[in-house]
Amino acid sequence: MKTEKIDVLLGLQWGDEGKGKVVDVLTPRYDVVARFQGGPNAGHTLIFDDKKFVLKSIPSGVFQGNKQNIIGNGMVLDAALFKAEAESLEAAGIDLKNRLLISKKAHLILPTHRLMDSALEASKGSNKVGTTGRGIGPTYTDKVARTGVRVGDLLRPDFEERYAAARAAHERTLKSLNFEYDLAPLEKAWREGIEYMKQFKFVDSEHYVANLLSEGKTILCEGAQGTMLDIDFGSYPFVTSSNTICAGACTGLGVAPRNIGKVYGIMKAYCTRVGSGPFPTELFDKDGEALSDRGHEFGAVTGRRRRCGWVDLVALRYAVRLNGVTDLILMKSDVLDTFPTIKACVAYKLPDGTQTDEFPFDCEGVEPIYEELPGWKTDLTKVQDEDEFPEEFNNYITFLEEYLETPVSIVSVGPDRHQTIVREK
């Protein structure tokens, strides 16, 4: 199968679709893997050889072959968390120093950004976003306000002044919110993180990527979060603070749209969401509990229980269009193995009684309209070839493909690297 120079893999729902697992599976096809947005709000789980890794800021291409991995300019990095993550990988025998490159233009999450995240959430009362508490919003806010501190600034002689100016501004906000905090231990860990980070190669990733392309090298871009958490198109304000859609790969890595080939859109066979915000197909019944239990739906970063519901094709078609998805990847199909019937939301009933299959500006009060399909009542976890798929499962896949007008190229039937069935020709 043909690989374009830059392919993108990104989440179509509210995150946690299984991006880490599939990036790891696809890594052997590429020379380089790159993250382009988000930061340690992400938690990407990989399971192989009975080992489990959860990656937060480091791309999921570090386990297969000696591939290069890039932390792109669109990302935000917490030096203390980066150090902990990188050291745990190094302890597991993964060499990083020679093949993990960090963009000088990525923004630094400062200790006070994390405090601001908590303080701002606390000040919102019942309107909390339910953030991961990693300082993501305040760091991107500073980036857009042109008051941020970047990785490349660590090497400048005036770094301490830049840091002090940002910290002072944040402390004024924290005081105005009457937020109590102890900065010293956070700052100590962060400074240790910075010294550690300086051992890595800081690059102008846009030049680096351009050179890779001119050498004919191939790159897989790994999205974080999901389309419905995109700052522009997600369920605002219950979103993250970056562009999670395909366009984010262009701005977050410095690549031109015409260099993008395949866009892999990854989705669960059902749907989950962590944190606050609308979720039209959310279930509060036994089916929701079964999805949560069978899917082990607990956040990889915060451990919070994920909200669960049926697959939402209205939101998914919106996501497919926004991203120009060329290939769908269907995850966690095995979680539905025991259900006698499976529902899929094909339209919304709006509060005024009308129906739509276009994702609306406001999801408040929308009711899902479902189509019901027969379940397959078969254990999919041992299936190794699509010829073994039960008829009902094939029908479910075809139903998704037809509604979303996009082929399902990869099917995942369990968390392990090997529980993956590639259908693309």
Catalytic residue among 16, 31, 142, 327: 16
Kindly list the distances between the CA atom of residue 299 and the CA atoms of 24, 42, 116, 272, 401, in Å, as whole numbers in the listed order.
Answer: 20, 10, 22, 10, 28
CB-nearer residue toward ligand IMO: 109 or 346: 109
The number of C-alpha atoms within 13 Å of 371 and in the hemisphere containing its C-beta is 11
Q: Is 334 a catalytic residue?
A: no
Task: Pick between residue 194 and residue 245 the one whose CB is nearest to Mg ion.
Answer: 245
Annotated catalytic residue: which of 7, 24, 31, 44? 44
The yes or no reply on residue 295 touching Mg ion (CB under 5 A) is no
Peptide bond into 415 cis (omega under 30): no
Residues 343-382 that bind Mg ion (CB under 5 A): none
In sequence order, the 6+-apart residues with CB closer than 8 A to the CB of 49 are: none
Which residues 340-369 are close enough to bind ligand GDP by CB under 6 A? none
Q: Which of 298, 306, 235, 301 is nearest to 274 (CA)?
A: 306
Per-residue binder mask for Mg ion (CB under 5 A), 5-44, x = binder? -----------x--------------------------x-
d(CA 194, CA 154): 8
Which residue's Cβ lies closest to ligand IMO?
275
DSSP 41-77: T--EEEEETTEEEEESSS-TTSSSTT-EEEE-TTBEE
Q: How far is the CB of 65 from ligand GDP (least distance, A)?
A: 20
Residues 18-57, one symbol each (x = binds ligand GDP by CB under 6 A, - = not), give xxxx--------------------xxxx-x----------
* 266 binding Mg ion? (CB under 5 A): no
Rounded-to-integer distance, Cα 319 and Cα 340, Å: 28
Q: Does 300 bind Mg ion (CB under 5 A)?
A: yes
- Interaction of residue 152 with ligand GDP, rule CB under 6 A: no
Taking the least distance from each CB to ligand IMO, the nearer of 61 and 152 is 61
Residue 329 binds: one of ligand IMO, Mg ion, ligand GDP, none (C-beta under 5 to 8 A by kind): none
Rule CB under 6 A: say whether 61 interacts with ligand GDP: no
What's the closest the beta carbon of residue 56 comes to ligand IMO, in angstroms? Answer: 8
Q: Does 335 bind ligand GDP (CB under 6 A)?
A: yes
- Active-site annotation holds for 95: no
Q: Quick check: 300 binds ligand GDP (CB under 6 A)?
A: yes
Using CB positions, name the residue nearest to ligand GDP.
45
Q: At what angle do helices 111-123 and 136-145 cross, to 10 degrees?
A: 110
Share of the chain residues as helix, strand and coil, in percent rounded to the nearest 5: 35, 20, 40
Q: Is 329 helix (H, G, I), strand (E, B) or coil?
A: strand
Pairing of β 408-412 and β 420-422: antiparallel
149 or 383: whose CB is closer to ligand GDP?
383
**Tokens 């392309």, residue?**
213
Q: Which residue has 């508490």 as its token pair? A: 133
In the sheet where 201-203 sits, what is the strand order?
Answer: 201-203, 100-103, 68-71, 32-35, 219-222, 6-11, 260-268, 327-331, 408-412, 420-422
Task: Return phi, psi of residue 24, to 5°.
Answer: -60, -45
- Sign of the alpha-carbon dihedral angle for 421, 377, 326, 319: negative
**What minimum distance in Å lies between the beta carbon of 224 and ligand IMO?**
4
- Encoded tokens for 134: 């990693």
Indicate which of Mg ion, ligand GDP, ligand IMO, none lies near residue 343 (CB less than 5 to 8 Å, by partner kind).
none
Residues that bind ligand IMO (CB under 6 A): 11, 14-16, 41-44, 129-132, 134, 136-137, 224-226, 229, 240-241, 274-275, 300
**Residue 203 binds which of ligand GDP, ligand IMO, Mg ion, none (CB < 5-8 A, kind-dependent):** none
Which of 6, 12, 13, 17: binder of ligand GDP (CB under 6 A)?
17
User: What residues make contact with Mg ion under the rule CB under 5 A?
Assistant: 16, 43, 300
Active site residues: 16, 44
User: What residues make contact with ligand GDP under the rule CB under 6 A?
Assistant: 11, 15-21, 42-45, 47, 300, 331-332, 334-335, 412-415
